[in-house]
Chains A and B, each alone.
Chain A
Amino acid sequence: MTVLANFDWSYIWEHRDELRHGLRLTLEISAIGIAGAFAIGLILGAARAHRIPVISQLAAIYVELIRNTPILVQIFLLFFGLPRLSDHLKFEPFTYAWLAVMIWGGAFNTENFRAGFEAVPARYREAAFALGFTRIRTFLNITLPIGFRISLPSTINTYVSVMKNTALLTAVAIPELTNTALDLLSTDFRTWEMLFVLAATYLALVWALSGLIRLLERRLALPEST
């Protein structure tokens, strides 16, 4: 097949700097997005699980709004809608980029953490109260460490999705990996070289993270659940 015969590894090597720069941006946006999604999920998930008035209801609305709308629409609303609303909401594209994936991941993570905290058996908390723990100490010492471990697989799945979602930022011209590869593709028409780079990189990242889930699941499995 001529397509395979014409595959030019040196083309990828010659453009390694651009591609590496794109990958770095993908990883940077993913890292900030994942860290933010972790923090949002932890706080709002705890508020949801403990039914803290007002915060819990607002968190529920946030979760439903984000989960029931396409992330691409959220990206467009942030990038093009928000700056029109007020001058105070004008940021650099990079800021919108990590905000978009973070807000999305935060909503899914809120649900993950809520489910994890609610899965902690009530008798553990009752035991803590009986020992004289306050509500906050019960959360920090009992619900958090156990609930966190229960929710770990689903939260990592969300982080994988956050990373994959950064590819959508190509629609708003953020020069991450997908955008960089497509730019090169449309100038030099080395189609399969660029598609190979994209597919191989994303699959490597996704499979590595999924492998981590399985590893953690085995290492951190609660004694009771096995």
Chain B
Amino acid sequence: MLDRLPHWAEPVADYILHTGVKNTLIIAGTSVFLSLVVGVLLGTLLTIKFLPIRAAIRSYIEIWRGLPIIVTIFILFFGLPTLADELHIEALRLSEIKAAILGLSLWGSAQIAEATRGAVQSIPREQHEASAALGFGWVGRHVNVILPQALRRLLPPLVSLSVNVIQNSTLAQILGVPEILETAERSTERLSIPTVDPVTLEVEGGGDNHAFEIYGAVFVLFFLISFPLTRLAAFLERRLVV
């Protein structure tokens, strides 16, 4: 299929599909994983009736859900390094991609925490009582009885979150991480610069950066990734409701 493309498009498609897609998947995959682990933990703890814990988790959720994700990423990328000197923690000097992943994970974990709280609370009280009667402590009760059931109800929101994280991984472009959108942007920039053939001295390219075709292709690419997943989320929603 790639053979039928105009000659300028081949290196562009190659760059976007190899470098861009790879980085988008790394960002999105890591963020979804972190969001799930942290979100399920915080969401379960949110059902404890101990006010300080609940208040702390509630603030976490409201802050990271309230801020535009790009502002969160800026706080991590520009703010944390100023603390690195003072606290002598070099790990706070986040790379661009790490700042993006962490920013997305803070937002995603807040979303998952809220969904988990709902899912855990939807498990009937008898399940808690029965497992307590069997001698399970709080941790054993949740790990062995409550969460396995709650996680089933968490599946549709988790798939929706994955779609959102994949789409929002484009925010890494603003810091210059070569994910799909950034590789597309670099391609349009490269195409707008004329190249001179070193032998014939003929000037080639330049002028048209093919921005419409390239960003249009990126648009289609994201649609092809997201659409099946949103269908899957809708399907799971219908399946698991009963």
A residues with CB within 8 A of B? 1-3, 64-65, 67-74, 76-77, 80-82, 84-85, 164-165, 167-168, 170-171, 178, 182, 185, 191-192, 195, 198-199, 202-203, 206-207, 210
B205 to chain A, nearest CB (A): 15
- In the complex, chain A residues whose CB is within 8 Å of the CB of B75: 195, 198-199
- In the complex, chain A residues whose CB is within 8 Å of the CB of B215: 73, 76-77, 80-81
6 A-B residue pairs with Cβ-Cβ distance under 8 Å, sorted by A, are: A72-B170, A76-B184, A168-B70, A170-B70, A195-B79, A202-B67
User: Nearest CB to that of A209 among chain B residues?
Assistant: B66
Among B68, B169, B215, residue most surrounded by chain A Cβ atoms (within 10 Å) = B68
Identify whether the interface residues of A are mostly helix, strand, loop, or mixed.
helix
A192 to chain B, nearest CB (A): 6
Q: Are A72 and B173 in contact (CB under 8 A)?
A: yes
Q: Are A168 and B68 in contact (CB under 8 A)?
A: yes
Q: Are A202 and B188 in contact (CB under 8 A)?
A: no
Q: Are B170 and A73 in contact (CB under 8 A)?
A: yes
Q: Are A192 and B68 in contact (CB under 8 A)?
A: no
- In the complex, chain B residues whose CB is within 8 Å of the CB of A195: 71, 74-75, 78-79
Bound-state Cα–Cα, A167 to B71, Å: 8
In addition to A77-B219, A198-B74, 12 A-B residue pairs with Cβ atoms within 8 Å of each other are: A3-B83, A72-B181, A73-B181, A73-B222, A76-B215, A80-B212, A81-B215, A84-B211, A167-B70, A167-B71, A198-B75, A199-B71
Q: Are A76 and B185 in contact (CB under 8 A)?
A: yes
Assess A82 versus B212: contact at CB under 8 Å? Given A70-B170, A202-B68: yes
Bound-state Cα–Cα, A77 to B218, Å: 9
- In the complex, chain B residues whose CB is within 8 Å of the CB of A70: 167-170, 181, 222
**Residue B227 is within 8 A (CB to CB) of chain A in the complex:** yes
B186 to chain A, nearest CB (A): 12
A168 to chain B, nearest CB (A): 6
B73 to chain A, nearest CB (A): 10
Which chain B residues (26-46) contact chain A, with CB distance < 8 Å?
none
A8 to chain B, nearest CB (A): 13
Bound-state Cα–Cα, A164 to B164, Å: 15
